[in-house]
Amino acid sequence: MAYFKNTELLPERRGPAVVVSKSLDQNEQKSRAGRRGRRFGRISRQGFLFWLLSLGVLLFMYLAYFGLKMHFHGAVSSLGDVKEKLVKNAPEQSWRKPHRQRFSPCEVPFLDSVTYLLEPKDNVKFAHFSLGYIETEEKTPLNEARFGGHQTLEGREESYHAKNQTIYCGFVRKPDGYLNTGFDVDEKDKKYMNRCSVVVSSCIFGSSDFLRRPSRKVISEYSKKNVCFVMFVDEESFVKLSGDGNIPDENGNIGLWRIVIVRNLPYEDLRKTGKVPKLLSHRLFPSSRYSIWLDSKLRLNADPMQIIEYFLWRAGSEYAISNHYARHCVWEEVLQNKRLNKYNHSAIDEQFHFYQSDGLTKFDSSDPQIHLPSFVPEGSFIVRAHTPMSNLFSCLWFNEIDRFTSRDQLSFAYTYLKLRRLNPNKHFYLNMFKDCERRAITKLFHHRLP
């Protein structure tokens, strides 16, 4: 790229020089014509002027040449500087200017067909342990039932250990069953969700997006029959969608999406509420073994089984998420969040300082211990096998969001690094793939303006 840029620059630079010499030629011709026209009187003066000018030019060139020679060292080094600047600037230019190029999709070598796809036998390399979830909490003040429960800091520390245990993972209720903490769905939807084994899900809360239907022509017949496509919406968004003419059929479907209305939202912050279906698909779909999450600003443009085969099975991983297209360090992400006023600044600081005091470091790509191409994910597209380690990570990540801010990009690396640090003998097979691949399989739309 840089090479092409430089060679492209050269003719442009030569351009003006060529023009100059051309116009000199024209001047010369004009002055010749003048000479022919008026033989005497002016000839000598024009000729004189012409020669004087030429002499001046020659003198200038002479001086320039020897001036250069005289300042040989300085000149060379400054030429060197120019070259260096060109080389240095080139990537920066391509970094800024061709927006499309930098954020363009790249090829994803999917299988041609999913017809003869075979799920790998239960992958023995994945960590085996048994995870339970806290369903009810007794000793909480009556009015303080929380969807995320009341996890202590000691309990939080313990929960990071990959072992048989029962942890907080949302959906915490009061034992009497009356005080529901939220994320309620109809019984018939619940029945449907309980049967799903492979899920594609998304959500629209607060009418933040239009409904983007998966591109039907790329979805295989197998997936149309066997994969659950579930779009969670709140009542407000449901009304808005209906206003757009999106009316579910008798099965509750709009195209491939099954529309599931969520009532009694667990958080006032809709972005926090959105993290429930995003991170807790193993809880919402208890018998599912694979799930794909996509933000509602994305349209799915590939077959779910092809996606699972490529990002999980072929990569030997149990969790796949793309890295952020521009930022790799949580420090940068914090600044960006504040710059765009994404969240209460002091809440961000509180979370960030907590993480720093518990070992979060700046991203250093040369550190061999990291095994991550970036500390900042582009979390709008996640592919998961519902293995114990993957489920544990999802719960831990969700608990960070429940405890701190809804900005999941701030807590991703911390959660991942802490999980690895506390479980040196149990690997977590996370595949952080290139963002250009995400772009290849999803189409990005703008959010709906209020």
Exposure string over 317-353, b if 16+ CB within 10 A, otherwise e: bbbbbbbbeebbbbbbbbebbeeeebbeeeebeebbe
Q: How far is the CB of 128 from ligand NAG (least distance, A)?
A: 8
Site string for ligand NAG, 163-202 (x = CB under 6 A): -x--------------------------------------
Q: Which of 337, 388, 383, 332 is nearest to 362 (CA)?
A: 332
Q: How many helices (H) and strands (E) does the chain have?
A: 16, 12
Q: How far is the CB of 405 from ligand NAG (least distance, A)?
A: 8
Stretch that binds ligand NAG, among 30-38, 202-210, 250-258, 343-351 (CB under 6 A): 343-351
Q: How many CA atoms lie within 13 A of 145 on its CB side?
A: 18
Enumerate residues 6+ apart whose C-beta is below 8 A from 54: none
Side chain identity, residue 429 = Y
Q: How far is the CB of 228 from ligand NAG (least distance, A)?
A: 27
Beta strands of 367-420 (E only): which ranges?
377-385
- Cα separation, 160 vs 158, in Å, equals 5
Which C-beta is closer to ligand NAG: that of 129 or that of 354? 129
Stretch that binds ligand NAG, among 197-205, 214-222, 314-322, 341-349 (CB under 6 A): 341-349
Which C-beta is closer to ligand NAG: that of 130 or that of 366? 130
Which C-beta is closer to ligand NAG: that of 183 or that of 343? 343
Q: Which of 227, 232, 218 is nearest to 198 (CA)?
A: 227
Choose which of 81, 92, 350, 367 interacts with ligand NAG (CB under 6 A).
Answer: 350
Q: Which of 126, 111, 109, 115 is nearest to 289 (CA)?
A: 126
Which C-beta is closer to ligand NAG: that of 95 or that of 129? 129
Rule CB under 6 A: say whether 55 interacts with ligand NAG: no
Rule CB under 6 A: say whether 341 interacts with ligand NAG: no
- Cα separation, 206 vs 400, in Å, equals 23
Rule CB under 6 A: say whether 347 interacts with ligand NAG: yes
Choose which of 107, 124, 130, 177 interacts with ligand NAG (CB under 6 A).
Answer: 130
Q: Which of residues 131-170 bind ligand NAG (CB under 6 A)?
A: 164
Which C-beta is closer to ligand NAG: that of 381 or that of 404? 404
Stretch that binds ligand NAG, among 29-37, 208-216, 339-347, 410-418 (CB under 6 A): 339-347
Rule CB under 6 A: say whether 53 interacts with ligand NAG: no
Q: Dihedrals φ, ψ of 291, to 5°?
A: -145, 150
Burial class (CB in 10 A: 0-12, 13-18, 19+), 306: buried
Residues binding ligand NAG (CB under 6 A): 129-130, 164, 344, 346-347, 350
